[in-house]
Amino acid sequence: MGLMETTNKPHDRLAAWLAEDMASVNGLIRERMASEHAPRIPEVTAHLVEAGGKRLRPMMTLAAARLCGYDGPYHVHLAATVEFIHTATLLHDDVVDESAQRRGRPTANLLWDNKSSVLVGDYLFARSFQLMVETGSLRVLDILANASATIAEGEVLQLSAAQDLATDEDIYLKVVRGKTAALFAAATEVGGVIAAAAPEQIAALHRYGDALGIAFQIVDDLLDYGGTTQVIGKNVGDDFRERKLTLPVIKAVAAADEEERAFWSRVIEKGDQREGDLERAMELMARHGTLAATRDAALGWAAQAKSALELLPAHELRDMLRDLADYVVERVA
Amino acid sequence: MGLMETTNKPHDRLAAWLAEDMASVNGLIRERMASEHAPRIPEVTAHLVEAGGKRLRPMMTLAAARLCGYDGPYHVHLAATVEFIHTATLLHDDVVDESAQRRGRPTANLLWDNKSSVLVGDYLFARSFQLMVETGSLRVLDILANASATIAEGEVLQLSAAQDLATDEDIYLKVVRGKTAALFAAATEVGGVIAAAAPEQIAALHRYGDALGIAFQIVDDLLDYGGTTQVIGKNVGDDFRERKLTLPVIKAVAAADEEERAFWSRVIEKGDQREGDLERAMELMARHGTLAATRDAALGWAAQAKSALELLPAHELRDMLRDLADYVVERVA
């Protein structure tokens, strides 16, 4: 497993260090995605799986297992499991969000249809379930079952929270754990479990994934009000137009006077959005410093992620995971 | 567990014999359906779970475990698991089929929306997964993971097979296993596994559930061309209008001359259906005796189900399962 220092991005360094493992993961994904009876399945999944996603989640599983000294075959199964769950979630999310773009391509449900997105997502969930059973670890199954429940609960909670000004930072955090952090946390935790790491190290891996996932999502929400289309592959203000209560807005609502609250109620709760409303929202967030406060929150979670890593063995991979936490928030730092 | 002989219907006799166990199952279902954070979840599921479904699948798990002498607590978990998987499948199927009625009530996606149906279905899948992990049996997890994959694969296969005259009886059988028989077979098999029954008995339970499920689905397809709205809670000819290639049609297509084939191609493949086409389809099926041949197929599968039971211990519950196989086909015998 050669270390290619051609780039400084921690994600690329992880990919180089884990190249052999990732090749096995990709092979397993292609093998298990196939369906003898239903050729539509690989047609739909190939679109997502080959779409050049960063494969961040499976790499986190591999890195966690390797840095805890794992030398068996099952980290590959678990990495493929995590990627399948992630892809299934994207497919089901596409049915839900009617988002026009994902990873810069048309979403599966525009190329195909809602039926295929739902059922192929279910197929990937079932395949991921088979893969984890093959590891023979009930502990791993328990962790991933709990993560699955947290993910689904968070997604449902997001439905009701999306356009309700009563959504506070506690609810936001539950939604974010469901959307992102629960799978990140499970991805790193099962890596430690399969490596039979010490309990406090497994707990630290969970905390790392959880905090990194939250930082990641907060940055994503923040970039929606400040990034560029090239950088994030989606349009600025998408969340605003979809009336999502993300952290910068929640903080602005909490600080709002009566007149500002009426504005938020109109554009978010009632969905009555007019020319200039996005600009007005940006101005209110600037006035109350909520973009800066949101950035500070992201930096705080990244710091927690790094601090969790201190309990893990000194290792090149640990350094890359630490740098990854910095990198995630670098876009907004 | 009192035996109430107030009815001759095997389903009611099973319900009476298993009343205490079913009360535990219903309690567990209500407990696990609840979500602290997302109150919409029980709102959606209660609609389905309380809708007066027959709870046939969980009863089959309980019956299999009990007749193999099981005396522990986990058959209740497995029965709830099976009902959760079934309910999740219905929710996802509602998104897919746009069927206007299920169990005589509006479907969840008319009362709620596609988003809720997809995500609450996912939540129930995750909850079922947690329940089976609690049994601590990797073998049970393996069986249910494989059943989940067969179900999802069959549903996707059904999408492509639905309007394609090339769909033959082999493909039909794969679709039916996905739609119905895989979960029936897993439901009875895990009952035997949790009871630590002998391998040939576990295999027999699988065969029983598989054959019963196939018989059940064939009867359902047949009634769609001959039952009444009161009996089956859906309209005669629904499958025809939805251009489904069910067994009576597949057999009629196989026996069609050139002119008949053109008819089937127009109404099923091209979806160009006109006044009188349903009557014409019925006439063609009568001419080739495909309704009678379909009935014979159902009776054959019911006989296979009964024959599998011979390997199981003599037991009141075994008699009820045998009578259940007769009862399933009685509607068309």
What is d(CA B80, CA B21) in angstroms, rounded to the nearest whole number?
A: 11
Q: In chain B, which residues have their Cβ closer than 8 Å to the Cβ of A174?
A: 37
**How far is residue A69's CA from residue A258's CA, in Å, rounded to a whole number?**
57
pLDDT digits (tens, 9 = 90+) for A192-214: 999 999 999 999 999 999 999 99
Alpha-carbon span B144 to B61, nearest angstrom: 12
Say yes or no: B127 contacts chain A, CB-CB below 8 A.
yes
Give the Cβ contact number of residue B232 at 10 Å: 17
Q: What is the pLDDT of residue A117?
A: 84
Size of interface A-B (CB pairs under 8 A): 141
Non-local (6+) Cβ contacts of B271 within 8 A are B163, B243
Interchain proximity A39–B155, CB inside 8 Å: no
**Is residue A292 within 8 angstroms of chain B, CB to CB?**
no
Q: Select from B198, B208, B276 the least CA-distant residue to B240.
A: B276
**What gap in Å lies between CA B168 and CA B173, rounded to an integer?**
9
Q: Which two tokens stand for residue A260?
A: 């500002």
More confident residue, A138 or A230: A138
Residue B274 buriedness (CB in 10 A; 0-12 / 13-18 / 19+):
exposed
Residues B157-173 have a mean pLDDT of 88
Are the beta carbons of B39 and A119 separated by less than 8 Å?
no
pLDDT at B1 exceeding the cut of 60: no
Residues B181/B186/B187/B190 CA torsion (nearest 10 deg): 160
What amino acid occupies position A182? Answer: A
Report the Cα B81 to chain-centroid distance in Å.
Answer: 15
* CA dist A194 → A119, A128, A197, B59, B329 (Å): 30, 16, 8, 36, 49
Structural domains of chain B, ranges and CATH numbers in brackets: 10-330 (1.10.600.10)
Per-residue pLDDT tens over the stretch A300-323: 999 999 999 999 999 999 999 999
Nearest to B37 among A122, A127, A174 (CB): A174
Average confidence (pLDDT) over A296-303:
96
CB-based contact (8 Å) between A330 and chain B?
no
* Least confident piece of the model among A28-42, A175-189, B59-73: A28-42
Q: B118 vs A115: CB contact, 8 Å cut-off?
A: no
Contact B138 A133 (CB under 8 A): yes
Question: B96 with A115: CB under 8 angstroms?
Answer: yes
Q: Which residue's entry shows tokens 């596609």?
A: B114
A119/B contact by beta carbon, under 8 A: yes
- Exposure string (b/e) for B288-313, b if CB count within 10 Å is 16 or more? bebbeebbebbbebbebbbebbebbe
Contact A145 B130 (CB under 8 A): yes
Of the candidates A117, A116, A146, A120, the one whose C-alpha atom is nearest the C-alpha of residue A132 is A146
User: Which residue from B41, B118, B148 is facing A96, i.e. has the nearest CB?
Assistant: B118
Q: Do B115 and A95 touch (CB under 8 A)?
A: yes
User: Which of B45-59, B151-165, B290-304 has the highest average model confidence (pLDDT)?
Assistant: B290-304
Q: Collapsing DSSP states into helix, strand and coil, what is residue B225?
A: coil
Side chain identity, residue A94: D
Query: How confident is the model at residue A6, as a pLDDT?
Result: 54
Mean per-residue pLDDT of chain A: 87
For residue A26, which amino acid is it? N
| Average pLDDT of chain B, as a whole number | 87
CA distance A305 to A328: 11
- Predicted local confidence at residue B43, as pLDDT: 73
- Cβ pair A119:B159 closer than 8 A: yes
Distances from the Cα of A1 to the Cαs of A18, A312, A318, B67, in angstroms?
7, 21, 16, 55
A257 torsion bin: left (phi>0), alpha (psi -120 to 50), beta (else): beta
Secondary structure in 3-state letters for B9-50? CHHHHHHHHCHHHHHHHHHHHHHHHCCCCCCHHHHHHHHHHC
> In chain B, which residues have their Cβ closer than 8 Å to the Cβ of A133?
138, 141-142, 145
pLDDT value of position A80 = 96
Q: What is the mean pLDDT of residues B288-302?
A: 94
Cα-to-chain-centroid distance, residue A76: 20
Least confident of A78-82, B83-87, B89-93: B89-93
Q: For position A86, what pLDDT does the model report?
A: 94
Q: How many CB atoms lie within 10 A of CB B88?
A: 27
Confidence tier at B229 by pLDDT (50, 70, 90): very low
Mutate to test the interface with B, among A130, A151, A153, A177 (most CBs of B within 10 A): A153
Give alpha helix (H) positions in B224-289: 229-232, 238-241, 247-254, 258-264, 277-287
Q: 3-class SS at B105? A: strand
Q: What local confidence, expressed as pLDDT, does residue A50 receive?
A: 65
| Model confidence pLDDT, tens digit, residues B239-279 | 899 888 999 999 999 999 999 999 999 999 999 999 999 99
End-to-end CA distance of chain B: give it in Å, rounded: 33
Could you give the CA distance from residue A190 to residue A174 in angstroms, rounded to a whole number? 21
CB atoms within 10 A of CB B213: 28
* Residue B95 Cα, gap to closest chain A Cα (Å): 7
Rounded distance between C-alpha atoms, residue B94 and residue B110, angstroms:
9
pLDDT grade, residue B212 (50/70/90)?
very high
CA A135 to chain centroid, in Å, comes to 24
Q: How far apart are the first and last CA of chain A?
A: 32
- Chain B residues with CB under 8 Å of A156 CB are 35, 38, 40-41, 116, 119-120, 123
Residues of A in contact with B144 (CB under 8 A): 129
State how far the alpha carbon of A248 is from the alpha carbons of A244, A291, A294, in Å. 10, 6, 6
Cα distances from B3 to residues B7, B11, B24, B327, in angstroms, run: 11, 13, 17, 19
